[in-house]
A and B are shown apart, each in its own frame.
Chain A
Amino acid sequence: MPRPVHWSRRGRDAIRARLSGRGQQSEMLESLLAFGGLVLLRDSIEWEGRDFLKALIKQSALCGEQIHVLGCEISEEEFREGFDSNINSRVVYHDLFRDPLNWSKNEAFPRGPLEALRAMCRPTDLRPVTIALDSLSWLLLHFPCSTVCQTLHALCRQGDSSPVERVNVLGLLHEELHAAGPLGALSSLAQIEVTLDGTMGRTSAHILYRKPRHRPAHQVDPTAHLTFNLRLSKKERETRDSLTLPFQFSSEKQQALLCSEPSQASSHIFYEPDAYDDLDPEDPDDDLDI
């Protein structure tokens, strides 16, 4: 790390801890990579996140994983600065920097960057275990938020099918470029969210761990453990099912309406004209020729 970073953790599953020293730093980085899923790195203009991203990549490489980098913002040469040959051999850089929109018509990514990203999802012999997105902001600016989120979700779910091979997706996000909506959507997708901040020239990283998803082993019975009875006996259930609702139009109602004859005089109007009424016995519609 070029600059000393002090770590502080906050959040539901976190404790405040002040760490220093290389051993503790690599421990912290390892813990970020332990869960799999999306690790969201939020940085700002003043506190850049690329160094942190590269530190995580280094840690991944040291653990023997292969890393695929989707590089949209800086050149491969600049990205690989600071990596020794051992780490460089484990990093595959997909260069989206030179010609992301295919202006030179070289077709480096024939079906677009998102398709290249989805290709990393599909299992191959050398299955990628860490995917680094530099940056997620670039993808969000060029593709609809929903598409990006769906692609990310598909990427992260690769790890779910077999718990042994987890997939880490590291996404670098520039906070100032996006509205609250996309930021919130990505937050909810992320397993871990790291926000970079700093004071007095020292960068600090705030780490938020989300609780792992709970999948219930059995269906919870909502009617259990209540002070009132929500259960129905068999007879009560039958009575309830056979009940006809008053405003429901059933065949019986239809018959009742059709069978009633107007001459039966079920309704009759009694009208008492007063002095000002002008009752004309003639039918005003008589001259109509229909």
Chain B
Amino acid sequence: MFFHIVLERNMQLHPRYFGRNLRENLVSKLMKDVEGTCSGRHGFVVAVTGIEDIGKGLIRDGTGFVTFPVKYQCVVFRPFKGEILEAVVTMVNKMGFFAEAGPVQIFVSNHLIPDDMEFQSGDMPNYTTSDGSVKIQKDSEVRLKIIGLRVDATEIFCIGTIKDDFLGVINDPTTV
């Protein structure tokens, strides 16, 4: 889910960037440092939308660097346990399938796929119902529920399920 949030960060600036363009340099450094990063609390910082406040700079002892506390508004994307997402399948194997929803990777184990769907190996591995009416393969769109999260320095990885009501394939690429 997307959120609009105000975050704060202490930005260190080298004296070479001081001058009339100090603010612009600070903002562009902020955007380079922050956009595309991921944290466990806020999720992925997708884009910085504005600067709310730049505090007074403090010169660090021993170096010429100055630290500015910057408050900025940004759009973040963070999945939650219990959230329903529409994701695109990227890989299918006998253990389950991988899907992507924005910058987040989701794995759905075969234990969390309905029992009437079986894995079919081949050039295009897929999970298919016994009557062949529903198929999950690469590029299928599925609605799934997040049941677990793992966060590391650069990405969020989720575990999902399609075994509940109103979850499963939305769009089969072969019928499009």
A and B bound? Answer: no
